[in-house]
Structure 1
Amino acid sequence: MIQTIVNNRPIKLFILLGGFFIANALIAEFIGVKIFSLEKTLGLTPANFSFFGVDNLSFNLTAGVLLWPVVFVMTDIINEYYGMRGVRLLSWLAAGLIAYAFVMFYFGIHLTPADFWPQSHIPTELDETGKQAILSKVSDYDYAYRLVFGQGLWIIIGSLIAFLIGQIIDVKVFHRIKRMTGDRFIWLRATGSTLISQFIDSFVVLFIAFYIGANWSLSLVLAIGVVNYIYKFVMAIALTPCLYLARMAIEAYLGKEQASELKAAALAES
């Protein structure tokens, strides 16, 4: 059985794509606790948008947006060769693993720390001038640990629901366009499905996490959702060439005949 799997290129490819898909989804969730300034990261002056009566908006984004566009591109690649069932399997598996990880984080942050650990990173040695070598900016490791890993329940729920809804919409739009265009216009079905699913994802997560969970005003949720979607829209377009590169690599690995068989089966299954 193991030998069969190892020698079966479509199975090995599915495991490779699925592993990369799930890894990106997990990492995006975990790094998403950080909010960064896109403009300042790029050395630019912050934008000054106004939407729905909310002023002074700029690209202050969760770090997870670095990877979510990659997740949706991976969705389209897997969808192309393994169909709805392949994407559905990996989406539920990713959501389950993310939920499991947060449960483990919950237990981790509630463990009683060893007496020495919260201040264990603060140096006690002196440098040649007789002063402390490094002064840490964090005075309590355990408190920082709780802040980083202890994301709010509504944020977790909103993120998981938005992810699953986005995946379902992405898959359906992708195959609807493919039925109309056949094997042509991969950019249209891949980028089009991503743009639609990312639009829904952007507002669902904010609505659940902050409108319901944190009592934000609806205008603020909509305004920030628009800013987030502008970034995702640009990234979806920018990543389109990656689809063609991935397709070339996959067809070189599988061979055109086997790749065509997988794509035909995926379309028929949809």
Structure 2
Amino acid sequence: MIKNILNDKPTKLFVIFAAFFVANALIAECIGGKIFSLEKLFGAQPLSFSLLGESGLAISLTCGVLLWPLEFVMTDIINEYYGPKAVRRISYIAVALISYAFLMFYMAMHVPAADFWYGTGVQDGVPDMSKAFNAVFGQGMWIILGSLTAFLVSQIVDVTVFHKIKKVTGEKKMWLRATGSTVISQLVDSFIVLFIAFYLGKGWSIQKVLAICMVNYAYKFTVAVLLTPVIYLIHNRINKYLGKETAEKMQLAAMGKEINAD
């Protein structure tokens, strides 16, 4: 029985997807504390523009956005072959494990450090390793709450929109259901995390939250469109790995339909 489970291709594929999905989400949360300049990444000077009455804006993004687009691609692929129940289950597992990780970070920050450790980074320009450690792993509670809430809500939105589009288009126009569900869920994700973390947590004005949300969403929308060919590539590779008949059965089952066995 165990051998059959381990050798079952759909099962192996699901384990790989689930592991990557959770790992990707956790890494994105861990590196999300760093803000980078998209303009500098491409060798240009940071822009300075106004939006919704907020001036001095530039395309400054959290490093988490480097990974989140891949998360939504995985959501659509899992949705395509395993259905919304599987996506929700993996999403709940991801939230639970991210929460567990942050609890461990909190404990690590508050256990007493060895005396010799404080100065071990002096030669690398880090005079106090304990403060550096706490600065890297000590995200604010509002940011953590906003990020986890945004992730969970946006996943549910993505699943819902994906299946509503698929019910109308059938198996055709995969680009529409994949990219369409992603651009909508990314908008929800961008607003919720900023609203909770900075409107509720930091007292920012709603205009500032909306302005930064639009800047972040413009990036996410662009990346979502650019990643559309990747979805087709992964889809074709999965069909070859599973075999056409198995892949078709899984896709029908994901939509709540079953193929009657002969």
TM value normalised by structure 1: 0.93
Residues in 1 aligned to 2:124 and 2:76: alpha-carbon distance in whole angstroms = 45
- Structure 1 gaps of 5+ residues are 123-134
| Secondary structure of 1:151's aligned partner | coil
In the alignment of these two chains, the number of paired residues is 257
Matched, 1:229 2:217: yes
Q: Say whether residues 1:138 and 2:126 are aligned partners.
A: yes
How far apart in 1 are the matches of 2:46 and 2:90? 37
1:244 and 1:166 mapped to 2: Cα distance?
Answer: 22
In the TM superposition, residue 45 of structure 1 has moved relative to its aligned partner by 2.6
Matching residue within 150, 163, 176 for 1:162: 150
Deviation string 1:46-91 (CA, Å, 9 cap, x unpaired) is: 2333211001211110000000011001000000000001100100
Structure 2 match to 1:149: 137
1:238-249, aligned counterparts within 5 Å? Answer: 238-249=226-237
- Over the matched positions of the two proteins, sequence identity in percent amounts to 57
Q: How many Å separate the matches in 2 of 1:91 and 1:25? A: 9
Question: Following the alignment from structure 2 to structure 1, what is the Cα–Cα distance between the partners of residues 196 and 171?
Answer: 37
Instruction: State how far apart, in whole Å, the 2-side matches of 1:120 and 1:57 are.
Output: 38
Equivalent-residue separation in structure 2 for 1:2 and 1:120 (angstroms)? 48
Q: Deviations over 1:196-243 (max 9, x none)?
A: 000010000000001001111111111110000000000000110010
State yes or no: 1:253 paired with 2:249. no
Report the Cα distance in structure 2 between the residues aligned to 1:96 and 1:36, rounded to whole angstroms. Answer: 28
1:89 and 1:78 map into 2 onto residues whose CA distance is 11
Match of 2:81 in 1: 81
2:249, 2:154 → 1: CA distance?
27
| CA–CA separation in structure 1 for the residues paired with 2:132 and 2:203 | 25
Residue 183 (structure 1) shift: 0.3
State the superposition RMSD in angstroms.
Answer: 0.9
Structure 2: give runs of 5+ residues left out of the alignment. 258-262
- Give yes or no for the alignment of 1:45 onto 2:45: yes
The whole-number CA distance in structure 2 between the counterparts of 1:145 and 1:189 is 42
Question: For residue 64 of structure 1, what is the amino acid of its counterpart?
Answer: G
Structure-2 separation of matches of 1:186 and 1:176 = 12
SS of the aligned residue for 2:255 comes to: helix
Deviation above 3 Å: which 4+ runs of structure 1?
none
Give the distance between the partners of 1:49 and 1:72, measured in 2 at CA.
29
Task: Quote the offset at 1:29 in angstroms.
Answer: 0.3
Alpha-carbon displacement from aligned partner over 1:84-104 (angstroms, at most 9, x marks no partner): 011001000000000000000
- Residue identity in the other structure for 1:91: S
SS in 2 for 1:56: strand
2:17 is matched with: 17
Structure 1 Cα separation of the partners of residues 157 and 46 of structure 2: 33
- Give the aligned residue type for 2:39: E
Alignment of 1:51-62 (within 5 A): 51-62=51-62
- Provide the rounded CA distance (Å) in 2 between the counterparts of 1:2 and 1:136: 50
Is 1:8 matched with 2:44?
no
1:33 is paired with a residue whose SS is coil
- Which is further off, 190-199 or 18-27? 18-27
Structure 1 match to 2:104: 104
